[in-house]
Amino acid sequence: MAGGAPLGLEEQAVLGAVARLPHTPLAGREGRLFCAVVPLEVEADLADLAFSAKREGEDLFLLQVVDRGLVVAGVGSALRIDGGGLERFRSCARRWEVAAAEAVVAQPPEGVEVAVPVAMGGFAFAPQGGKSVAWEGFGSGSLTVPEIAFLHLPGERPVLVLSAWVEPGERPSEAVGAVARRVARLERKGLGLLDPLPTAHPRVESALAPEHYEAAVQRATELIGAGKAKKLVIAREVLVHSPQPFAAPALFGALREGFPSCFCFCICKGQKAFIGATPELLVRREGQRLTTVALAGSTRRSADPAVDAHLGEQLLRSASHREEHGIVVERIVAALKDLALWVTAPGEPTLVKVANVQHLATPIRAQLPGPLNVIELAGHLHPTPAVGGEPKEAAYALIPQLEGFDRGWYAGTVGFATASGEGEFCVALRCALLSGGEGRCFAGNGIVRGSDPAAELAETEIKLGAILPLLVG
């Protein structure tokens, strides 16, 4: 390859993969996906490769859990599936199933078992969310099969997947070959390091006054007391204004280093980047096994082990946090009973600790009656009361009135689905939407009976500690 085999690939390996695709023009009346798969070196930094491959203004999807060895990354778009409204998950799942079933994949090398192609993307919190100017390009739901994908699923060999949408009359080998030639010219750029400004400093401000958030919490407790809801999650938005554009690659590198057990993600649409590190799994489907986690109720961490343990014990014993957590567990289990052969969840929550926050967590497992698509499963569970409320319909109606802004993809879900319908989606939390030198950070809390507005405001500051310090330097 040019540039001294920058991806650790031999040119012959790429050419050989493309050569296994048809050389004759595609017949028929409908286009379809064609893909070629190439093994990668195990030590390759797939996040670096994805950012290095990205062109100015091009789509990028990146999801990584360092501790699990999971990386799903894609650049460009061979196929995009958009959806909106209450049926957006189901409609996207159906369209993906058709596209995946009709896709033509060149015979993969021996030892490569990933079910390609892979669709990557996410969904806004609300059925019609993500349509404000701030979220331009994201929409209510969007899945993409990238032209260039770097995949490392746990237990599998890392691979490069080259994809192209081929119309009738076009030659699949030529279309995918054009993508391969682009890869051949790639050179690693590195993620870079965060570079604090030596003179000017970013400016931080609440999009709405902190008092607005406290008033929203107070109103939420009144609505709960009046029986309008059992729980409402109220979020706030904090703006960061920097004199120079934010560097998404460097920020992503810092997030995955600081939060190796979390889902670290970066989704670029045009000139915007949605980036974060969330501890919350919405759904994972492996065969007919489903895994999810109820994560609700949180407190801060301490550098002193004794204090940290004490804070965790207080969280486990907190009546309000246990009530909040119990609502989430109850809803998820009830939702899964509609789908699964059996559902199991421990009777008591445990603590999940990340760099700046510790949470109450209950892992939940289920056995599915058949291979249901993970996209549709995500829609069945989203939004859990951990990010929405209970009941769901009341939360959808009340939250926008109380918060006063479009959440977009914050508290929505991002993830991937393989051609066989397996995959995983996480809840998009501890995140920021970047546009040039502007960053929009988000944090929210679950409100139940007796929630204290000042304490809830203080807890959002703790949660903002995952992303805000990286933006302000």
Number of neighbours of residue 183 by Cβ within 10 angstroms: 20
Dig out the tokens for 284 from the structure: 């994972």
Catalytic residues: 231, 280
Rg (CA), the chain: 22
**Residues listed for the chain:** 473
Q: Report the C-alpha gap between 279 and 260 in whole angstroms.
A: 10
Q: Tokens 């304490």 — which residue? A: 455
Number of neighbours of residue 115 by Cβ within 10 angstroms: 15
- Interhelix angle 88-102/374-381, rounded to 10 degrees, is 170
Q: Is 183 helix (H, G, I), strand (E, B) or coil?
A: helix
Q: Report the C-alpha gap between 257 and 470 in whole angstroms.
A: 12
Are the beta carbons of 387 and 427 closer than 8 angstroms? yes
Strands (E) across 113-209 are located at 118-123, 141-145, 148-152, 159-166, 203-206
Helices (H) and strands (E) in the chain, counts: 12, 23
Give the bridge partners for 416, in sequence order. 120, 424
38 φ, ψ to 5°?
-130, 130
Q: Report the C-alpha gap between 175 and 6 in whole angstroms.
A: 22
Give the bridge partners for 433, in sequence order. 274, 440
Instruction: Please choose, from the candidates 293, 289, 282, the residue with its C-alpha nearest in 3D space to the C-alpha of residue 383.
Output: 282
Instruction: Please choose, from the candidates 442, 444, 462, the residue with its C-alpha nearest in 3D space to the C-alpha of residue 231.
Output: 444
Q: Tokens 């286009």 — which residue? A: 31
Strands (E) across 130-271 are located at 141-145, 148-152, 159-166, 203-206, 231-241, 263-269
- Interhelix angle 210-225/453-464, rounded to 10 degrees, is 120
